[in-house]
Amino acid sequence: MSLNEFWDYLVLGVVLGSIYAVIAIGYTLVYGVLQLINFAHSEVFMLGAYGGLISLTIIAPGDSPSALASVGYVALGLAAGGLFGAVTAYGLEKVAYRPLRRRGAPRLIFLITAIGASFFLYNLAGKLFGRDPLPMPDAYENKKVFTLFGADLNVTQLLLLGAAVVMMIGLDLMVNRTKLGSGIRAVSQDAEVAGLMGVDIDKVISRTFVIGGVLGGAAGYLYGTFTQVKFDMGFIPGITAFAAAVVGGIGNIRGAMLGGMMLGIVETLTVPVFGGEWRHVGAFVVLIGVLMFRPTGILGERVGRTA
């Protein structure tokens, strides 16, 4: 592999990694406040993609919309994706997890509920929207924008990267600088004490789900634009993003971003070196490698200490 080719694949890896990173944040946030792996998060992602699809189908973009209109359509797709994601995540917390929390159910029950909710949601989507993949309506013409050290970047790739970076920076600021952010950090450090200090734990948890849902749903729209929309599309990116969250240190937001990027890049580089059938092997070897030397992930656990 020449240096030029390496650069090509690296760029592709960063693009894929940015998607993984945004999804991974959803896992890590919820883990932070609940110590729960929300396996249904992959369905939040999937339903976000359908949200974008539905809104763009209703307000259908023409064949080649103007630049300004394109921006509007993308914004609409992201907003609809985020909304669907948020509603799904909020509903999940309310219906699936809160009753368990009230009764003080053991951890394992939460996990099984998460898996069950995931099954339910993706089969429901299959029933509602059909099991055939659907194309995401093009909100813009996917042209090559510029060449960076020999690697071509097109609109979709730039959009993915840009949106992911904006979302990550926004989230980081929110968690570190706002009142809700300190609430989230407080609950994840010690929920009981946070409650005694006057933090409304239920509210914080519910909002954490919504934030993760917005990010996951918007990422779903982006990923749908990148490939296509299907009822089981959440599964593989979901599992990979979960692994990414663990690599970075579960519960650690910046860790999730780092882990997502890393897995995206490793997966993509595995393809030219070992072949397409080895991509997940590459990613999971990294996961195991990291956990052997740093069992709590690269940046360590905990949402409270973001870096």
Residues that bind other proteins (CB under 8 A): 5, 8-9, 12-13, 15-16, 131-135, 138, 142, 152, 154, 156, 226-228, 230, 232, 236-237, 240, 267-269, 271-272, 275-277, 279
Please, what is the minimum distance in Å from the beta carbon of residue 45 to other proteins?
12
Considering beta carbons, is residue 207 or 279 the nearer one to other proteins?
A: 279
Q: Estimate the share of the chain in helix, then strand, then coil, as percent rounded to the nearest 5.
A: 75, 5, 20
Considering beta carbons, is residue 107 or 127 the nearer one to other proteins?
A: 127
Answer whether 13's CB lies under 8 Å from 50's CB: no
Please, what is the minimum distance in Å from the beta carbon of residue 107 to other proteins?
29
Query: Measuring CA to CA, how many Å separate 187 from each of 89, 159, 232, 263?
Result: 18, 34, 33, 29
Considering beta carbons, is residue 1 or 169 the nearer one to other proteins?
A: 1
Q: What is the DSSP letter of 146?
A: E
For 169, counting Cβ atoms within 10 Å of its Cβ (0-12 exposed, 13-18 middle, 19+ buried), the class is exposed
Please, what is the minimum distance in Å from the beta carbon of residue 80 to other proteins?
20
Helix or strand run (H / E) with residue 292: helix 279-293
Nearest partner of 44 among 86, 80, 12, 6, judged by Cα: 86
Considering beta carbons, is residue 43 or 138 the nearer one to other proteins?
A: 138
Please, what is the minimum distance in Å from the beta carbon of residue 268 to other proteins?
5
Please, what is the minimum distance in Å from the beta carbon of residue 261 to other proteins?
14
Considering beta carbons, is residue 142 or 178 the nearer one to other proteins?
A: 142
Considering beta carbons, is residue 251 or 260 the nearer one to other proteins?
A: 260
Considering beta carbons, is residue 64 or 178 the nearer one to other proteins?
A: 64
Answer whether 47's CB lies under 8 Å from 121's CB: yes
Please, what is the minimum distance in Å from the beta carbon of residue 135 to other proteins?
5
Answer whether 53's CB lies under 8 Å from 71's CB: no
What totals of helices (H) and strands (E) does the chain contain, helices first? 12, 2
Please, what is the minimum distance in Å from the beta carbon of residue 11 to other proteins?
9
Tallying the residues shown for the chain, one arrives at 307
For 6, counting Cβ atoms within 10 Å of its Cβ (0-12 exposed, 13-18 middle, 19+ buried), the class is middle
